[in-house]
């Protein structure tokens, strides 16, 4: 499994628009071949810096998505809102879900 992490900084005041745009884009990405999951997080103490993570079944699936013209079109709104961006890609070696019932209850509330 492959994980892409994209840190994006946006202008102050653009947070609501950025989050709405990410939600719109994430609906499309979720339907792409090889897409496993996506997460949008904000860095603690940095109101305008977001971390987007996306997991993919394999590198070819991610690369096909990343280099597609349609991906450029669909994500153009996010790019318009960003001031800077930095991506890293890594291979997930091990992934262990928690067995804690507290985690289950917390995740249901998300």
CA distances for 22 relative to 28, 38, 46, 98, 105, angstroms:
10, 10, 18, 27, 25
Q: Report how many domains make up the chain.
A: 1
CATH code of residue 78: 3.30.70.100
pLDDT tens digits, one per residue of 37-55: 999 999 998 999 999 999 9
Share of the chain above pLDDT 70, in %: 92
pLDDT score at 103: 59
Number of Cβ within 10 Å of residue 72's Cβ equals 11
Which structure tokens are listed for 62?
């991610």
Q: Do residues 6 and 86 make contact, with C-beta atoms less than 8 angstroms apart?
A: yes
> Mean pLDDT, to the nearest integer, of 65-93?
96
| Domain enclosing residue 81, as ranges | 2-108
CA distances for 71 relative to 26, 29, 38, 39, 47, angstroms:
11, 8, 15, 17, 26
Over the chain, what is the mean pLDDT?
92
Question: If residue 79 lies in a helix (H) or strand (E), which one and from where to where?
Answer: helix 76-81
Distance CA 80, CA 76 (A): 6
pTM above 0.75, yes or no: yes
**Confidence check: pLDDT of 106 > 90:** no
């Amino acid at each position: 499994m492959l994980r892409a992490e994209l840190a994006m900084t946006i202008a102050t005041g653009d947070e609501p628009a950025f989050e709405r745009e990410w939600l719109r884009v994430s609906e499309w990405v979720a339907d792409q071949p090889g897409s496993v999951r996506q997460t949008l997080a904000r860095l603690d103490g940095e109101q305008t810096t977001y971390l987007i993570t996306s997991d993919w079944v394999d590198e070819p699936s991610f690369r096909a998505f990343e280099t597609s013209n349609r991906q450029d079109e669909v994500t153009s709104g996010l790019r318009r809102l960003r001031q800077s961006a930095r991506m890293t890609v890594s291979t997930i070696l091990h992934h262990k879900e928690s067995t804690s019932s507290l985690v289950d209850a917390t995740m249901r509330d998300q």
